[in-house]
A and B are shown apart, each in its own frame.
Chain A
């Protein structure tokens, strides 16, 4: 009897939440039928900020405050190092890659960038002037 009741309640709960989720379901295309042409997405511009963005928490990888379309990161070349390597940064008025970027995951200090930091925009990203699709309530310290 008890199990029956639980099953019933459970299925009721799932039924309700499931169906309400079903009604709330909306694709990124909105109500447009699949066969129609999708509407043009809004255009956004990158935010270019002198002096850089404030960080939201201590160990946040700082956001990129400048354009980066011109710089390629490939097996052969890392365009970011033109200005952010130890030797070039001062001349370019940029900050060099910090100490943390030379340390391997086993804690060894290398003389060159650690490979896990090679692809800069895995962690450092530019910002668009778009309104967030989802509110972010994270509070850093």
Chain B
């Protein structure tokens, strides 16, 4: 092979590589996006009949301004790395779908406490990252909030300021806001979930 032909073929291989790369990358990201919609989540009846039905009764589904939070907004991280990790974890859901772990409402209720605890632990660990994608203490107008809310938020916000992150001080959104999107599990006992003394993050 001549020197110029060699160069040419390298160039072609490189171009093909880039081309395929773009297609796969695009396809990968499209797949990521497609699986990041509410429609996808509730394509499984397990998700639709229980948690979705309950969620339609809450403020994150319908409210005065029409701004919504959908399933992935609360359950799938926005940052790329965290998102890929969550998607890989989600293949576990596929397995349970196939074996039918929660394929009836009764089975779902029986397992709800386990599932809820997974979510609580995750949110506690991430300092309720997904909530904070939309909500931020710093921009809450305490004057406009109900007195009960303002009182508790000021307290939590002060800790947040002092420690840099609510997680160090111990209190984050999920500590005080369990059950905002779905019904709480039967086993949940508020007396065991006093903010700061909760037993629901233990293993």
The answer to whether B191 and A77 touch across the interface, beta carbons within 8 angstroms, is: no
With A91-B195, A93-B148 known as contacts, the answer to whether A85 contacts B190 (CB < 8 A) is: yes
Chain B residues with CB below 8 A from A67, complex form: 146
Give the chain B neighbours of A86 by CB distance below 8 A.
191
Q: Contacts of A66 on B, CB cut-off 8 Å?
A: 146-148
Find the B residue at minimum CB distance from A94: B148
**Contact assessment for B194 and A77 in the assembled complex, using a CB-CB cutoff below 8 Å:** no
Within 8 A of B (CB), among A91-122: 91-93
Cβ B186 vs Cβ A93 within 8 A: no
Q: Do the beta carbons of B146 and A76 come within 8 Å of each other?
A: no
A82 touches B190 (CB 8 A): yes
User: Distance in Å from the Cβ of A86 to the closest Cβ of chain B?
Assistant: 8
What secondary structure prevails in chain B residues at the interface with A? loop
Q: Which residues of B lie under 8 Å from residue A81 when comparing CB positions?
A: 190-191
C-alpha spacing A87/B148, complex, angstroms = 18
CB atoms of A88 and B147 under 8 A apart:
no
Nearest Cβ on chain B to A122's Cβ, whole angstroms: 20
Q: How far is the CA of A113 from the CA of B63 in the complex (A)?
A: 34
For A, the interface residue count at a CB cutoff of 8 angstroms equals 21
Q: Say yes or no for B34: interface residue by CB 8 A criterion.
A: no
One digit per residue, 1 when the CB lies within 8 angstroms of any chain B CB and 0 when it does not, for chain A 52-79 equals 0000000000000011011010101101
Q: Whole-angstrom distance from the CB of A10 to the nearest CB of chain B?
A: 56
Residue of B nearest to A81 (CB): B190
Q: Judging by beta carbons under 8 Å apart, are A77 and B151 in contact?
A: no
Residues of chain A within 8 A of B186, CB atoms compared: 76-77
Minimal Cβ-Cβ distance residue in A for B177: A70
Task: List B contacts of A50 (CB < 8 A).
Answer: 147
Residues of A contacting B180 with CB < 8 Å? 70
Within 8 A of A (CB), among B19-77: 58-59
B177 to chain A, nearest CB (A): 9
Q: Does B12 contact A (CB under 8 A)?
A: no
Contact A87 B191 (CB under 8 A): yes
> CA–CA, A70 to B191, complex, Å?
18
Alpha-carbon separation in the docked complex, A108 to B147 (Å):
37
Closest to A75 in B: B186
The answer to whether the Cβ of B199 comes within 8 Å of any Cβ in the partner chain is: no
Once the chains bind, are A91 and B194 in contact (CB under 8 Å)? yes
| Contact status A88-B191, CB under 8 Å | yes
Shortest Cβ distance from B196 into A: residue: A91
Query: Could you say which residues of chain B place their CB within 8 Å of the CB of A91?
Result: 194-196
20 A–B contact pairs at CB < 8 A?
A48-B146, A50-B147, A66-B146, A66-B148, A69-B59, A70-B58, A76-B185, A76-B186, A77-B183, A77-B184, A79-B179, A81-B190, A85-B190, A85-B191, A86-B191, A87-B194, A91-B195, A92-B152, A93-B148, A93-B152
Identify 9 new A-B residue pairs, CB closer than 8 A, beyond the known A79-B179, A82-B190, A87-B194: A66-B146, A69-B59, A70-B58, A77-B179, A77-B183, A77-B188, A85-B190, A87-B191, A92-B148
User: Chain A: residues with CB nearer than 8 A to chain B?
Assistant: 48, 50, 66-67, 69-70, 72, 74, 76-77, 79, 81-83, 85-88, 91-93
